[in-house]
Amino acid sequence: MTSPSKPLIIILMKRRPWPIIILAFIQILMPFFNILMNAWLENVSPDIYFRAFVHFQPPAKVATFFLLYLISGAAIFLMKKWSYAVFLLITSWNILSNIIIWVRDYYPSSHSLWTDHSFWILVLANLTNIAFVTYYLLPSVRKVYFDRTVRWWESKPRFLLKILANFQQNKNPQSIPCTICDLSMGGAFIETSQQLAMGDTITLSIPLYDRSIQIKSTVIHKREGNSSPEAKGYGLQFQRNPETDKKIKNLTACLRSFGFPLRWEPESTWESFVDWAKKIFSKQAWLPLDH
């Protein structure tokens, strides 16, 4: 039985979660926050501190200072399995380097640690990094990185259709009628009275103008059809190659130009942000898969 929360998950994951976008942006801006804090500690303007930093530090260190945060932000934003390890490694390195730099350059020798501004900035910076790590270790957030099925925004458009077509089974030249109910770059869903088994390979013939497109496909799931009691529904995965991809790309371009509806339409970026902002103080806003 389908969990009642599943439709909510599908809706919320039509776009990349806003907390991820915001935190990725914060990571990219971290070098500039660091410049502001260090300039304040040295009692100079941010412009003077930046010029001195670039002039006196080795080019490799300057590049690392900016690139590590840029890589971390990009990893968070892209939301791949490798992103997780990259983010954790860079954040761990930042925590360690903050401590080393503070001990080397700012450790107070003539006054109390508790009244030293640099110490509290170190604590704040490292607590911020630890908060980021803690957030990404939460199961609801981790799932988005490791379970591609919830990242609907990465899916190719799936068009809703009702097209009469036919297919041939392996070792059977007879054409068998079917109805294509939806189609995307990766596969299609068909209904037919013919019994098919999981893993069966068929050649689907899709009519297009005065000719048809043949695409080899594999049956990957099945369920009851909707058009008639005897109809069975089958999910097909196209067997991809450069030639097939070109055919399907042309076909989906035709479907788009003809105005065929999509299974789901993504929200505009602004509408999505406003909807998230309205729930910003709720658990759902920060843990979109935790219902």
Residue with the two structure tokens 């529904």: 233
pLDDT at site 230? 57
Domain locations along the chain: 17-150, 154-257
CA distance 38 to 34: 6
pLDDT at site 266? 64
pLDDT at site 2? 39
Amino acid at 103: V
DSSP assignment, residue 171?
Answer: T
Candidate CATH numbers 1.10.268.10, 2.40.10.220, 1.10.10.10, 1.10.20.10; the one for domain 154-257 = 2.40.10.220
Closest CA to 97 of 60, 59, 61: 61
pLDDT at site 228? 56
Helix (H) or strand (E) holding 211: strand 211-224
pLDDT beneath 50, residues of the chain: 1-12
pLDDT at site 226? 60
3-class SS of residue 233: strand
pLDDT tens per residue across span 146-199 = 877 777 676 678 899 888 999 999 777 889 999 999 998 889 999 998 889 899
CA distance 74 to 28: 8
Contacts of 62 (CB under 8 A, 6+ apart): 53, 54
- Ramachandran quadrant class, 205 (left: phi over 0; alpha: psi -120 to 50; beta: rest): beta
